[in-house]
Amino acid sequence: MTLTDREFIERCLAPTGLLDFEHPAVGQFVADAIGSAESHREQAVRLFYAVRDRIRYDPFQFSRERDDYRASVIAARGSNWCVPKAGLLAAAARAVGIPAAVGLADVTNHLNTPKLREAMGGVDVFYDHGYTALWLDGRWVKAAAVFNIELCRRFGVRPTEFDGVGDALLQEYDQSDRRHMQYLRDHGMFDDLPFERMIADFDLHYPGFGERLARLRGERFEAQQRL
């Protein structure tokens, strides 16, 4: 079976335990995002920007709990990281009848922060970066609704823009033309968010990641409390 087979496309329209678009929280998120948009392309664009900007990017939200990756949970939170955001966009698209899949790719972040690099054990490769694939006008279009616009402005990163026609992946260079994101390997598209695969890959590539991340989250919380 290929990615363009009718069977796979139809599976990319169905609700799953994680892409639970029939939940009221997802329905409200979708309604707020699409407004009066009628075409699938315009709806996809509006959903992309809603996920990109309403769910602030925060890699420190990583969780090993499966329920934290349900679209209904993600829609109700104000921040998350790339894989949950990809799942939310896929679920939101399915809610309006757009076939959508979750994709995984390995990328290098040349502008990685010291704190996140520490959590990742000194590794700058982001294994299993999440993006969404949307079936629009008879073909798959990739969209990475990751870095919110406020974050991009703060760090001088070029925001990822989406028109529903071409792929919208993370920018290779920032606004100062420094190397930013480099795609290394695409692992393909999945009709459900591949939670078990992602956790296994993180255990392989970032041993001790959860413990380091919990410590850094605690330090960040303490610093915020002192302000």
Query: What are the tens digits of pLDDT across the range 67-78?
Result: 999 999 999 999
pLDDT digits (tens, 9 = 90+) for 19-50: 999 999 999 999 999 999 999 999 999 999 99
pLDDT digits (tens, 9 = 90+) for 200-222: 999 999 999 888 888 887 776 55
Confidence of residue 110 (pLDDT cuts 50, 70, 90): confident
pLDDT over 60 (residue 91): yes
pLDDT over 60 (residue 223): no
pLDDT digits (tens, 9 = 90+) for 146-187: 999 999 999 999 999 999 999 999 988 888 898 899 999 999
d(CA 170, CA 76): 24
Confidence of residue 96 (pLDDT cuts 50, 70, 90): very high
Q: What is the pLDDT at residue 141? A: 98
pLDDT over 70 (residue 99): yes
The dihedrals phi and psi of 165, each to the nearest 5 degrees, come to -115, -55
**How far apart, in Å, are the Cα atoms of 205 and each of 19, 102, 108, 140, 183?**
26, 21, 14, 29, 17
**How far apart, in Å, are the Cα atoms of 50 and each of 103, 109, 149, 215?**
19, 24, 11, 31
Q: What is the pLDDT at residue 109? A: 87
Sequence-ordered list of residues with C-beta below 8 angstroms from that of 76, at least 6 positions apart, any chain: 25
Q: Note the CATH architecture for domain 6-226.
A: Roll (3.10)
Q: What is the pLDDT at residue 221? A: 54
Question: Quick count: other Cβ atoms within 10 Å of Cβ 121?
Answer: 12
Q: Where are the domains of the chain?
A: 6-226
d(CA 144, CA 171): 10
Q: What is the pLDDT at residue 135? A: 98
